[in-house]
Amino acid sequence: MSHLKNLTLKVWRQSGPTDTGHFENYTIDEISDEASFLEMLDVLNESLINENKEAVVFDHDCREGICGTCSLMINGVAHGPQKATTTCQLHMRTFKSGDTIVIEPWRATAFPIIKDLMVDRSAFDRIIESGGFITAATGGAPDANLIPIPKPVADAAMDSAACIGCGACVAACPNGAASLFTAAKISHLNFLPQGQSERFKRTEAMVETMDEYFGSCTNHGECSAACPKEISIDVIALMNKDYRASKFKNRKELSR
């Protein structure tokens, strides 16, 4: 085990949504290269508290790359320089002694800053609430084998369901679009037999809720590149196809 020395942290500090915010510089004298990035921030906060200073606010929960709350821009890259890695899984061995590391919150209009490095991602919740579910009859759960699903379909659904809703796609997109997130949440239900009855209502509702909060997708592809779960941009094409079909089908049903 080796140690990194003399790290300079350039951290965004903002007391609240109405504050203009600013960068503050901190120094980490020494830290193990096996420490995670969030553990490094813990060390920073311990030193700030010991100096009777206010700790840096940042979001985290599972620290296992599952929950998606560790939303940080690190040196201008969502989740940092390591591909397919969440901030909590990024380790200090990615950096070297003497480095300057710039740490910012997600930069997106739809994600207003709460404080320091923590942002409000409730706009994602509004999208899910509008249709990210299936309606199932109550009663005992049917046997899993009663609904045969081809393996390629099951695999595609699981690939989409891997989305952890971290918001890196929005933060990386020049337009602040949420198409990758929305498409992943739509696709993992629309692929499966259980999701077919509400497929077009779901797609229309979720896409139009997304449009209320986020920018438009112009196929830059930054979203998929920044995604820690490597969700393919193909799901956006599938979402757009279903959205066009939903406008026709839903209008046809209303005219009956």
| Per-domain boundaries in the chain | 3-115, 121-254
Query: What does the alpha-carbon distance between residue 80 and residue 183 come to, in Å, rounded to a whole number?
Result: 24
Contact 56, 104 (CB under 8 A): no
DSSP H helix total and E strand total for the chain = 8, 7
pLDDT at position 145, please? 75
CATH fold match for the domains 3-115 and 121-254: no
> Which CATH code for domain 3-115?
3.10.20.30
**Residue 112 token pair:** 């207003």
Alpha helices in 32-140 (DSSP H): 37-50, 122-131
pLDDT at position 97, please? 97
pLDDT at position 131, please? 96
Low-confidence stretches of the chain (pLDDT beneath 70):
141, 144, 252-256
pLDDT at position 254, please? 59
pLDDT at position 256, please? 56
Amino acid at 54: E
Reduced to 3 states (helix: H, G, I; strand: E, B; else coil), residue 244 is helix
Give the domain 121-254 fold: Fumarate Reductase Iron-sulfur Protein; Chain B, domain 2 (1.10.1060)
pTM of the full structure:
0.93
**Residue 163 token pair:** 């989305």
The closest of 12, 6, 4, 48 to 27, measured between CA atoms, is 6
Contact 172, 144 (CB under 8 A): no
- Those residues with Cβ within 8 angstroms of residue 253's Cβ, 6 or more apart along the chain or in another chain: none
pLDDT at position 214, please? 98
